Amino acid sequence: MDKSLAELATRVRRRRKFFTGGISAIAGFLFVASGHTAAGTNLRTGGVEDLRGLVLQRANSVAVLQGKVNSVQTKVDALSAEKITPELNAKLVTLEGVTGLSSVTGSALQVTLNDAPRESGASLPDGIAPDDLVVHQQDVQAVVNAFWRSGAVAVQVMDQRIITSSAIRCVGNTLLLQGRVYSPPFTVTGVGSVTALQDGLNSEPGVQIYREYVDRLGLGWKVKILNSTILPEWQGSLN
C-alpha cells in the first residue's frame, strides 16, 4: 500500500476508534470470561448458566454500540467520498474485497447444523453423554475451515461475515460471535465454486466426525446450494 493510500485509510478509520474500541473491549471481556470459565475444558459444565446470562447482557450493550458505529461510518463514508480519487478508490475496493470489508455476490453452499432431537426424560444410549447431542464450536469451525481450504471467496456464519481475526466460541449450546449470541440451528455459508466446496466438506476430518454423530444420534445436517447470494461486508472492529 503506497503512502497516500495508507494515510487515507488512517483518516477514514480514525473516527471509528471511539465506538469500535468499546466493542472490542466488551468482546475481549467476553473471551477472557469464557477462557476463565472453561479452564481448558468444554464450557458445558458448572457455571454455564451464569455465564450465559452475562453474555446476553453484554451482547445487548454490543448491539447498542454497533448501531452508533454504523451511524458514524455513514458519515465517514460520505466525507471520504468527497476526497477519494478514482485511482485511490480502485485500490481501496481491491483491498476491501481481500480483507472482507466489501460485500460479495456469487454461487454458494450453505450448511445448517442443529442439535439432535431428544424427548424430555428419555434415557441416553450407553456411552452417550448429553454433550454428544449438541453442536459444538469445533463442528462449526470445521465447516468454516472446509470452505476456506476449498477456495471460498467469502464465508459467513449466521448473519456475520468471517475474516482472519474472527473467533467462534460456544457458551452452553449457544454460539458467541463478535459479541452476539446465537441459538441453534447454526448456518455457515461459503461463496465460491459449489463443486469445490462440496468436495472440501466431504474431505474435512472435523466434518467427517460430525457426520458420524449425525448418522448415529440424529444431529442436524443440511447442505443447500444457493445459485446466487450476497454476503455483506464485515461490520466489526479491525483492531
Which fold would CATH assign to domain 104-231?
Alpha-Beta Plaits (3.30.70)
Determine the Cα–Cα distance for residues 165 and 50; give it in Å rounded to an integer. 27
* In contact, 215 and 133? CB cutoff 8 Å: no
All three cell numbers of 117, joined, read 432431537
What's the average model confidence in pLDDT over 139-166?
A: 93
At 182-218, the pLDDT tens digits run 999 999 999 999 999 999 999 999 999 999 999 999 9
Q: Where are the domains positioned within the chain? A: 3-99, 104-231
Which residues lie closer than 8 Å to 24 by C-beta, 6 or more apart? 237, 239
Average pLDDT over residues 76-84: 68
d(CA 78, CA 125) in angstroms, rounded, equals: 60
* Residue 175: all three cell numbers together: 454460539
User: Is pTM beyond 0.85 here?
Assistant: no
Cα separation, 36 vs 43, whole angstroms: 10
Cα–Cα distance, 161 to 186 (Å, whole number): 14
C-alpha–C-alpha distance, residues 150 and 152, integer Å = 6
